[in-house]
Amino acid sequence: MLTRKQRELLLFIERKLKDDQVCPSFEEMKTALNLKSKSGIHRLVSALEDRGFIRRLVNKARALEVIKSASDTTENKNNSLANDRITTKGFIPNVIPGNFPQSSSRLAKKAEIAVELPLYGKIAAGQPIEALTDHTNTVPVPAQLIGKGEHYALEVEGESMIDAGIFDGDTAIIEKCETAENGKIVVALIDNTEVTLKRLRKKHHAIALEPANSDYKTRIFGPDQVQVQGKLVGIIRKY
């Protein structure tokens, strides 16, 4: 079953391919669906791909192939709320939905146990923002997502990590630490004033904070400019 927005996007893609013989750009999709950012389109496209309705063509820019038409789905117009919910079948790995389905299995019961983590505020997955100061709120997190050690949560703001599956509005679950391996996505404090969520790269005496979006540039710092404050262990996303 598709949500209303997923079906609306699929119909738009089908229509553009039929009329123009070319796939619409993400900007065109954003405008057509009246969304505020392209991160929402990334989520919808990924969901359609996971459910087998479209396929991305490798090595071709903005190229999508419709495998299953929107006409193959049925939409319950008398229950729009139900259509706005996404089932966990075919869900993106490492992303925990905000509303957990009831199940009799032991795994599902464990997922339903929530741990309250401090929500420190917003972290920029884009241009860095000022250091976080809000320590007053909490957010419930599935217990199975939390391992050993101290954890906290941050709300993601920006689109620089969308190719790593991290979108604007997601809640990032962070394991508190002061060091991280090369290639890990970390919370980095820059010059004690800016905090950002980026992939960590170390080479010789330089530290690179690398985005996962070609629209953003990698930033290079000296070893004394960057302090690791935690590493990403999970993402919670609400639909």
Q: Provide the domain limits for residue 152.
A: 106-237
Average pLDDT, integer, range 177-191: 93
224 is a domain residue: yes
* Same-domain status, 155 and 219: yes
How far out from the chain centre does Cα 169 lie? Answer: 8
* Same-domain status, 21 and 134: no
Among 70-84, 133-147, 148-162, 187-201, the least confident range: 70-84
Does 225 have pLDDT greater than 50?
A: yes
Quote the pLDDT of residue 17.
85
101 is a domain residue: no
100 is a domain residue: no
Residues in the chain: 239
* Same-domain status, 216 and 118: yes
Q: Where in the sequence numbering do the catalytic residues fall?
A: 160, 198
Q: 30-45: per-residue pLDDT in tens?
A: 888 888 777 788 888 8
Distance separating alpha carbons of residues 117 and 132, to the nearest angstrom: 15
Own/partner contacts of 3-7, CB < 8 Å, gap of 24 or more, are 3/47, 3/83, 3/84, 3/85, 3/86, 3/239, 4/75, 4/80, 4/83, 4/84, 5/33, 5/44, 5/84, 6/44, 6/47, 6/48, 6/51, 7/70, 7/73, 7/75
Quote the pLDDT of residue 172.
93
98 is a domain residue: no
* Same-domain status, 75 and 128: no
Structural domain total, the chain: 2
* Same-domain status, 81 and 152: no
38 is a domain residue: yes
The CA-atom distances, in angstroms, between 207 and each of 15, 131, 159, 170 are 46, 19, 21, 26
Q: 163-179: per-residue pLDDT in tens?
A: 999 999 999 999 999 99
Could you say which of 44, 62, 92 is where a domain stops?
92
Note whether 200 and 185 are within 8 A (CB). yes
Note whether 14 and 70 are within 8 A (CB). yes
Distance separating alpha carbons of residues 209 and 202, to the nearest angstrom: 9
Does 180 have pLDDT greater than 80?
A: yes
* Same-domain status, 122 and 209: yes
* Same-domain status, 197 and 119: yes
99 is a domain residue: no
For 191, left (φ over 0), alpha (ψ -120 to 50), or beta? left
* Same-domain status, 166 and 210: yes
CATH number at residue 144: 2.10.109.10
User: Structure tokens of 232?
Assistant: 């990403």
Quote the pLDDT of residue 77.
41
Enter the DSSP assignment of 153.
Answer: E
Distance separating alpha carbons of residues 49 and 27, to the nearest angstrom: 18
Average pLDDT, integer, range 11-26: 85
Quote the pLDDT of residue 112.
57
227 is a domain residue: yes
Could you say which of 69, 92, 115 is where a domain stops?
92
* Same-domain status, 229 and 173: yes
Could you say which of 92, 114, 129 is where a domain stops?
92
Quote the pLDDT of residue 88.
36
Q: Does the pTM of the predicted model rise above 0.95?
A: no
* Same-domain status, 130 and 205: yes
11 is a domain residue: yes
Does 111 have pLDDT greater than 80?
A: no
* Same-domain status, 122 and 230: yes
Q: What percent of the chain has pLDDT over 90?
A: 29
Q: 58-100: per-residue pLDDT in tens?
A: 655 557 888 888 776 644 444 433 443 333 344 344 555 555 5
Does 29 have pLDDT greater than 80?
A: yes
Quote the pLDDT of residue 125.
81
CATH number at residue 74: 1.10.10.10
